Amino acid sequence: MKAIHLTRLGDPDVLQLVDVAEPVIVRPTQIKVKIKAAGVNPVDTKLRKNGVPFPDALPTILGCDGAGVVVELGAAATRFRLGDEVWFCHGGLGREQGNYAEFTVIEQAQVQPKPRRWSFAEAAAAPLVLITAWEALHDRSKVKSGQTVLIHGGAGGVGHVAIQIAKLSGATVIATVGSEEHANFARELGADEVIHYPTQDFVQETLRLTDKKGADIVLDTVGSDVFRRSIDATAYGGDVVTLLEPSADTNWKEARERNLRIGFVLMLTPMVRDLPIARVHQVGILRSCGQFVEANALQIHVDRIFPLQNVSDAHRYVEAGHTCGKAVLSVD
């Protein structure tokens, strides 16, 4: 099969299209999937540059997100039939094969039926960002109706689905964006207010929009100074949830005096540390999100689709940081 190999760390050109043997079913509960599309996430670019979390894993195939068609069933795989369309977040970290490839083998429990309303590209774009946003807003900060949620990077992969998940929970949403195009996009997704962070101070704007109270929940998708300053934009007793590691010089005094809850979301941890219960929970998140998709209440925006052989261009595009929604590889 055709696949993209990472054999050494470096710039996007280290990703090479190769011919490798197709994966085979080795456990009765596994299924084989013909991959139609694979999501490209910022974490893929970081793994390419900095290394995967498992030793001696190179060469490896990146790509956590995938969507495709079931083409083979293990002897005890009864959840799906041949020809079923599925989506999943699995592999791509150096231990299990990722989805920059034509086929993958995966446990049936890690897979959900693809939403019928979505194309393969849309389904492949969605799992990692949906799980991340859901864990941040529901599992960590317990978002509820009537709250105000500040979402940084509202036009990005996580941000644009987080806006929708927060709105589905009845929250008022403020989103930070970097351009007028992204502001319009965030509003279309349901953002009640947008802050143009290159020209507006997001702390002052958030306080103005909340009558000096601050946001009940802040979702930080940027890190560093944005995380530090988000503390000042959060209401007393509120939540700041970050996807990044705070810098060593973070001053926690204001967070303590505001009685804030600080939450962290790294949705790849259950895969890295092999936590079965957490993996089941994440698959359940995809099931819940799929129901919203079928009700036409949740969408994913695919910004650009690249052919598999143009994976280096896809990585450059994602690293440029201007993606509106998600980038996807077409594997067909």
State pLDDT tens for residues 232-256: 999 999 999 999 999 998 989 999 9
Contact (Cβ atoms closer than 8 angstroms) between residue 178 and residue 155? yes
pLDDT of residue 23: 98
Contact (Cβ atoms closer than 8 angstroms) between residue 62 and residue 92? yes
- pTM of this structure: 0.97
Contact (Cβ atoms closer than 8 angstroms) between residue 148 and residue 174? yes
In sequence order, what DSSP letters do the residues of 81-130 get, joined into one string?
-TT-EEEEE---SSSS--SSBSEEEEEGGG-EEPPTTS-HHHHHHSHHHH
* Chain centroid to CA 331: 20
pLDDT of residue 84: 98
The string of pLDDT tens digits covering residues 303-330 is 999 999 999 999 999 999 878 999 999 9
Residues 6+ apart with CB under 8 A from 329: 37, 38, 39, 40, 63, 100, 124, 305, 306, 307, 308, 311, 314
Crossing angle of helices 180-189 and 157-168, in 10° steps, is 30
pLDDT of residue 137: 98
Question: Longest Cα pair distance anywhere in the chain, in angstroms?
Answer: 61
Q: pLDDT under 50 in the chain at which residues?
A: none
Question: What is the average pLDDT value for the chain, to the nearest integer?
Answer: 97
pLDDT of residue 324: 93
Q: What's the chain's length in residues? A: 332
**CB burial of residue 95 (10 Å; 0-12, 13-18, 19+):** middle
pLDDT of residue 26: 98
Contact (Cβ atoms closer than 8 angstroms) between residue 160 and residue 219? no
* Chain centroid to CA 5: 22
Distance CA 20, CA 6 (A): 13
pLDDT of residue 127: 98
CA-based nearest residue to 322, from 157, 193, 190, 164: 157
The string of pLDDT tens digits covering residues 262-300 is 999 999 999 999 999 999 999 999 999 999 999 999 999
pLDDT of residue 43: 97
Tell me the C-alpha to C-alpha distance, in Å, between residue 153 and each of 44, 119, 191, 215, 275: 19, 25, 12, 16, 29
Distance CA 109, CA 31 (A): 10
Question: Which DSSP letter does residue 244 get?
Answer: S
pLDDT of residue 6: 98
CA-based nearest residue to 152, from 199, 122, 196, 187: 196
